[in-house]
Amino acid sequence: MPQGVVKPSNQAVAYGDPLMVEMEIGANATAAEMKAGRVVIFDDADQTVKEAGAAAANVVGFLEVDPAKTKSRAYAVGDQAKVVIGECLAVLTLLANEAVTRGDPLVTATNGKLAKQAVGAMGEQGQVVAYAWESSNVAEDTEILVHWKPSGEPAAAA
């Protein structure tokens, strides 16, 4: 048995039995970005999702692989998708040129990818959705192992 957690080859969830729901890829989603391991937010209609943007709040979850497809194949607008909303270890997409170390808090970046939480004013950093489970610092988007554990975004002082 290997030591530690092994990244799965054709699913996003690496370890755990998280809560998942079926949702529809919304009309405002960018189909090319709707891949397993990408973070999603609510779209305009109930029970629909689209890719998260930078420093998103009110994150729904992340997309899991469609059992009839491969991990790299994107969902189309209108497709039913499995959305992971519960805590687990998962393989998600980290934005290029993000230097992260194990334990770093992660927020959403463009197109449902993840980035290291930046130092900034409370309420402007985005919702911490995961923590890096491995270190990475590469020049292209990459998949890393994370502890998916969304938390509430702190509110700015009034």
For the chain, the domains span 13-85, 89-148
**pLDDT classification of 89: cutoffs 50, 70, 90:** very high
**pLDDT tens figures, 37-62:** 999 999 999 999 999 999 998 899 99
Q: Is the pLDDT of residue 156 over 60?
A: no
Q: Is 60 left (phi over 0), alpha (psi -120 to 50) or beta?
A: alpha
* φ/ψ of residue 110, rounded to 5: -60, 150
Q: Is the pLDDT of residue 158 over 70?
A: no
Burial class (CB in 10 A: 0-12, 13-18, 19+), 58: exposed
CA distance to 29, 33, 44, 130, 151, per residue, from 146 (Å): 24, 19, 28, 6, 14
Average model confidence (pLDDT) across the chain: 91
Model confidence pTM above 0.85: yes
> Angle at CA 1, nearest 5°, toward 16 and 11?
40
Q: Are 52 and 26 in contact (CB under 8 A)?
A: no
**pLDDT classification of 122: cutoffs 50, 70, 90:** low
